[in-house]
Amino acid sequence: MKKHKDFISLSDFNPAEISELLDLADQLKKDRQAGKCEPILKGKTLAMIFAKSSTRTRISFEVGIHELGGVGFYLNSNDIQLGRGETVADTARVMSRYIDGIMIRTYSHNSVIELAKYSTVPIINGLTDLEHPCQVLCDLMTVREFKGQLKGLKMAYIGDGNNMANSLLHGAALTGMHIAVATPRGYESDPVCVSQAQDIAATTGAKIETIHDPDEAIKDADVVYTDTWISMGQEDEKKERMAVFSGFTIDRTMMSQAKKDAIFLHCLPAYRGYEMTAEVFEGPHSVVFDQAENRLHAQKAIMVKLMQDG
């Protein structure tokens, strides 16, 4: 795998590189289970900038860098001068003098690209309004763990065409999956991400479908995925979204149209009674906590690939 400076979008990686990252994530998981966490990033520092809330991303990155022998620290973007108007470019150049890597969760995807442009250290995208690539690397790891393969499997994503849907389109395309994304009209995935996925799919044999009928999407799916209807920053649209998404709840009847051995995934946090029923969330298909655990292993793989010397 060529040395990438940053991890901003899955679409920056090729299928072989994704597979290499997944293999490393599996290895790091096995090592940890065997009680061996090698200090591969001994003495390295990771700054984590958050402009939005987080449970999984914050904790798994902090534990991950610690287990790799380094140190991570949390920065609320409002507590640093970035929140008072210091530019992204200046912040990037200053931080590059102190630390070895930056993970950032923010609103604007372009800000992350700008940070990467001006920093000399790796930038990891911990979620933007457009993409959530760390989550999807973990999701691919989870599907492979439960299904033994990725290529040829059908994934149904039902709900908002948001950052999760955009990155899942990239991830499915890169791994040769069939992805059917069903959203209400007007809430489709980003057209650039869809077209990137289609271009990648032409080389991997993946199938990309963007439709509006959840029943069609879930039919014979191996993997069923959903996410909140109201992403961070969309709180003001709650009333309108609740009405628009009302036919998109994954309940037992909808789930029964997937394959018998389908797995149910959710990036979390989940809102029972909205994007899925409590019964589906807690039911036999759900592997959401195994999925959440894999954030740790997948992100350790990302940090090793980006931050290891040499």
Q: How far is the CB of 30 from ligand NVA (least distance, A)?
A: 26
Q: Near ligand CP by CB under 6 A, which window of 53-61, 62-70, 89-97, 177-185?
A: 53-61
* Residue 138 to residue 304: CA distance in whole angstroms: 15
Segment near ligand NVA (CB under 6 A), from 86-94, 212-220, 226-234, 298-306? 226-234
Among 8, 29, 48, 56, binds ligand CP (CB under 6 A): 56
Distance from C-alpha of 285 to C-alpha of 296, rounded to nearest angstrom: 22
Interaction residues for ligand CP, span 265-294 (CB under 6 A): 267-268
Examine residue 232 and tell whether it contacts ligand NVA (CB under 6 A): yes
Based on CB atoms, which residue is closest to ligand NVA, 119 or 166? 166
Stretch that binds ligand CP, among 49-57, 94-102, 167-175, 218-226 (CB under 6 A): 49-57
Q: Residue 54 interacts with ligand CP (CB under 6 A)? A: yes
199-232 burial string, b = 16+ CB within 10 Å, else e? ebbeebebbbebebebeebbeebbbbbbbbbbbb
Rule CB under 6 A: say whether 63 interacts with ligand CP.
no
Positions in 96-135 near ligand NVA (CB under 6 A): 127
User: 37 or 232, CB closer to ligand NVA?
Assistant: 232
The CA R_g of the chain, rounded to the nearest whole Å, is 19
CB of 124 to ligand CP, least distance (A): 13
Say which residue the tokens 């966490």 belong to.
37
Query: Of 174, 177, 120, 124, which is closest to residue 301 (Cα–Cα)?
Result: 124
Tokens 């790091």, located at residue: 28
- Comparing CA positions, the residue from 162, 103, 87, 155 lying closest to residue 131 is 162
Q: How many residues are given for the chain?
A: 310
CA distance 46 to 164: 24
> Is 125 one of the binding residues for ligand CP (CB under 6 A)?
no
95 or 158: CB nearest ligand NVA: 158
DSSP 204-225: HT-EEEEES-HHHHHTT-SEEE
Part of the chain binding ligand CP (CB under 6 A), chosen from 55-63, 166-174, 198-206, 253-261 = 55-63
Q: How many CB atoms lie within 10 A of CB 196?
A: 20
Residues designated as active site: 105, 132, 135, 227, 267, 295
Pick one of ligand NVA, ligand CP, none as the site partner of residue 67 (Cβ within 5 to 8 A by kind). Answer: none
Token output for 166: 């955009």
Q: Which does 55 bind (CB under 5 to 8 A by kind): ligand CP, ligand NVA, none?
A: ligand CP
One DSSP character per residue, 130-176 reads: S--HHHHHHHHHHHHHHHS--TT-EEEEES--SHHHHHHHHHHHHTT
CB atoms inside a 10 Å sphere around CB 117: 12
Which CB sits closer to ligand NVA, 25 or 127? 127
How far apart are CB 268 and ligand NVA at their closest, in Å? 7
Which residues in this chain contact ligand NVA in the complex, by CB under 6 A? 127, 162-164, 227-228, 231-232, 267
Which residues in this chain contact ligand CP in the complex, by CB under 6 A? 54-57, 127, 135, 267-268
